[in-house]
Structure 1
Amino acid sequence: MNKRIGIITYHRADNFGAMLQCYALQEILRIIGYDAMVIDYRQPFTELIYSPWRLDIVKRGLVAPRLLGGYLFKVLPTLYKRHKLYDRFRKKHLRCTKPVKMAQDMPQDINVYLIGSDQMWSLHPTNDIIEPVYFGDFPKPMGSSIQGYAISSNIQSLHTIGTDYLKEATKRFKRLSFREAVIRDEVEHMTGRHGDVVLDPSLLLNFDEWDKLTTGPIIKKPYLLTYFLSNDTDNPEFRELVRDFGKRNELKVVDMFEIAYSPIDFLNAIKYASVVFAASFHATAFCILFRKTFYAFQSSDGRDIRYINLLNELNIGDRLITTCDINTLRIRKVDYSKTEADLHNLRQNSFNYLKSL
């Protein structure tokens, strides 16, 4: 099997989930037997927001000295450190093409252009502008195909993009698959085009594949790791309750963003935690992959639906709690006795999809 697969995704985002799902998709394709690589498309807005050198902030800071000082002495050093570590990960672990800055420069030695995973059809990562490349609008050689894997979005973005554009876009795809059933169903309702539902790539690699990337503990004492991405959990009142929980259980409370500056740090932080509190899909997914004791928190903004579905599919829905439960919460280990078998079954459909690219 010598098909050359070019992945188009948010590999340039300095974001734990975006980077690790890209790495996982590349690796699982190579394990299957494809000649897989990441097309190094430099999406303009992604390049702007993840660059440590923010000239837009400096310009605003010329009339706001406090803003400029905060950026130069606090924000810039942190962003620079993160960006350097992410670039190191990209260079070491991703097999990228030469940089592509315009759709017409898309490499033409590709058999399958595989768009996904991640929020490829959401508008917020591109500053509410439709990115044609992510909808397959670029030149390709005769005989090649454009396919989607685990594309994600949100209902609002799909409606803003509109039925007419989506209908034209889906015609370019030989096959489509989505990360969430609700997005698959909405695209089908708007365009008449059916797609599959598949797993996020991070879940396709097993423990051994992920463990080989880890390097050791960041924190040397028992700790409770928090990774909060919802308003329900990322607020001072709830964080005070979390600190109280840590004291009751003799655990140091550590925020992911205070210790993890790279994808490797993210994996280390989860692997060596005593307990993890998560309001994030990828934090939940990697807790499962590393067989950790964890709790996932419900949120009122709808961002929890992905990990709620995952927990229910793996029959560990008891790990889902509300912020109110923390006052009476007692640490209980997760019963992983059947999880591996359930995850194996979920993987098969995704493997079959990728094997038939």
Structure 2
Amino acid sequence: MKIGIMTFHWAVNYGAVLQAYALQTYLRNLGHEAYMIDYKPGNRDHNLKNFILNRKLPHPLQYVREAALDRLFEEFRRKYLVRSRRYGSLEELRNDPPAADIYVSGSDQVLHPRTLMKGERRPAPAYMLDFGGADVFRAGYAVSFGCTSYPEGAAAVARKYIGRFDLLSVRETTGVNVAESLGYKGRLWTVPDPTILAGASAYDKVFSAGGNGPSGHTATYLLHGRSALNPRIEHDFGTVRPLGGCSVPDWLLEIRYADRLVTNSFHGTVFALLFHIPFVSLLETGAAAGMNDRFATLLSRVGLTDRILPAYDGRRAEEIFSRDISWDAVDSLMDGYAREGRDFIEMLLARQCVR
């Protein structure tokens, strides 16, 4: 079957690109013609117009660095992702919908209220799959809302389109309540992020492009301004290698060969689990706190919620790292979790509309 995937494959974010790669690869290995619907709002392109309109003027160097990093990401996309023609807006998707038997939205925070309301600088329910013919089966795989309650203004818009999904699964346990609050009437599943579906071996092909990584260090992958913690972590654990600014294969290698990882990234945590790297996961604060359930959902499945810290504390981090992890047990639990995702995909491929 032909399967078009709508996700954040275009984002300059390692986890976003790798979850897109993982879902497409899993479906193609099953023998299906899976591809990325290359929807990227035109206002997300790196150019002078968006530099001004997206209010990046106070941060020109950051914008230039991101544009340069995007070129590295594009090398990965060209090599590993099959893409449709480019779509710059929901209007283009509606006027010339991509051919497919099934549309899949997800994973990642494709149903975040900010994406819904401002993804194109205006409300645009593209990731709710409001395009294409009535004969196309529509599913959400491990979609994330990025919050535990939807703002009312965005909820009023989302309620108009949530019923477009014939089958819907969420990544976080709180996503069930959010979907129901938006009026979804069908059965809901909680399934793993696509990066977990096929296990660590799914990335062997990517590793072959990178060689061996450095060893004997503490890796940190700290987003949302948390990189200021690096000097403290280095004081506590010795040599630190902050991750970022590198190619996608090199980012994976840095995690695979690290002695330990300190991160506030969900996907950083996933790859620590897959590659058997001791880790500490830091929670978000402030407006980003709505994203914390993804850590609890994931780590509760493998019995490692005790490796979550609400804020960095060297003494507590050292105590966590002193505890051994039974990786055999983790692998078994991760495989069971992955099976739940694979079972959902079987229903999806059978186009079973469960209401």
TM-score, with structure 2 as normaliser: 0.84
Contact kept, 8 Å, 1:270 with 1:276, in 2: the verdict is yes
2:211 is matched by which residue type in structure 1?
Answer: G
Q: State the Cα distance separating 1:8 from its structure 2 match.
A: 0.7
TM-score, with structure 1 as normaliser: 0.84
Residues 257-272 of structure 1 aligned to structure 2 (within 5 Å):
257=244, 260-272=245-257
**Quick check: which has more Rg, 1 or 2?**
1
Where 1:310 maps in the other structure, the secondary structure is helix
Residue 120 of structure 1 is matched in structure 2 by: 110
Residue 240 of structure 2 is matched in structure 1 by: 253
Residue 132 of structure 1 is matched in structure 2 by: 125
Mapped pair 1:274 → 2:262? no
Contact kept, 8 Å, 2:4 with 2:98, in 1: the verdict is no
Q: How many residues align?
A: 331
Q: State the Cα distance separating 1:5 from its structure 2 match.
A: 0.5
Where 1:191 maps in the other structure, the secondary structure is coil
1:180 is matched by which residue type in structure 2?
Answer: E
Q: State the Cα distance separating 1:56 from its structure 2 match.
A: 4.9
> Which whole-Å CA distance do the structure 1 matches of 2:292 and 2:307 have between them?
13
Residue 13 of structure 2 is matched in structure 1 by: 15
**Which of the residues 288, 291, 298 maps onto 2:276?**
291
Contact kept, 8 Å, 2:192 with 2:341, in 1: the verdict is yes
Residue 222 of structure 2 is matched in structure 1 by: 228
Contact kept, 8 Å, 2:43 with 2:50, in 1: the verdict is no
Residue 189 of structure 2 is matched in structure 1 by: 196
2:194 is matched by which residue type in structure 1?
Answer: P
Percent of aligned pairs sharing the same letter: 24
Q: State the Cα distance separating 1:200 from its structure 2 match.
A: 0.8
Contact kept, 8 Å, 2:150 with 2:178, in 1: the verdict is no
RMSD after superposition: 2.6
Q: Structure 1: give runs of 5+ residues left out of the alignment.
A: none
Q: State the Cα distance separating 1:59 from its structure 2 match.
A: 8.9
Residue 320 of structure 1 is matched in structure 2 by: 308
> Which whole-Å CA distance do the structure 2 matches of 1:191 and 1:307 have between them?
26
Where 1:78 maps in the other structure, the secondary structure is helix
Q: State the Cα distance separating 1:158 from its structure 2 match.
A: 5.1
> Which whole-Å CA distance do the structure 2 matches of 1:87 and 1:197 have between them?
31
The verdict on how the C-alpha distance between 1:212 and 1:192 changes in structure 2, with shifts beyond 3 A counting, is closer
Contact kept, 8 Å, 1:280 with 1:304, in 2: the verdict is no
Where 2:263 maps in the other structure, the secondary structure is strand
Contact kept, 8 Å, 1:116 with 1:151, in 2: the verdict is yes
Contact kept, 8 Å, 2:197 with 2:339, in 1: the verdict is no
> Which whole-Å CA distance do the structure 1 matches of 2:128 and 2:54 have between them?
34
Residues 97-108 of structure 1 aligned to structure 2 (within 5 Å):
97-101=84-88, 102-108=92-98
Contact kept, 8 Å, 1:279 with 1:304, in 2: the verdict is no
Residue 208 of structure 1 is matched in structure 2 by: 201
Q: State the Cα distance separating 1:239 from its structure 2 match.
A: 3.5
Residue 308 of structure 1 is matched in structure 2 by: 296
> Which whole-Å CA distance do the structure 1 matches of 2:310 and 2:67 have between them?
36
Contact kept, 8 Å, 1:146 with 1:172, in 2: the verdict is yes
Contact kept, 8 Å, 1:122 with 1:158, in 2: the verdict is no
> Which whole-Å CA distance do the structure 1 matches of 2:4 and 2:151 have between them?
25
The verdict on how the C-alpha distance between 1:40 and 1:58 changes in structure 2, with shifts beyond 3 A counting, is closer
Deviation readout 1:110-168 (Å, 9 max, x if unpaired): 1001111111111334457422221221132x5221111111112454533224x3333
Contact kept, 8 Å, 1:181 with 1:197, in 2: the verdict is yes
Residue 175 of structure 1 is matched in structure 2 by: 167
Contact kept, 8 Å, 2:199 with 2:335, in 1: the verdict is no
**Which of the residues 142, 148, 163 maps onto 1:150?**
142
> Which whole-Å CA distance do the structure 1 matches of 2:246 and 2:212 have between them?
14
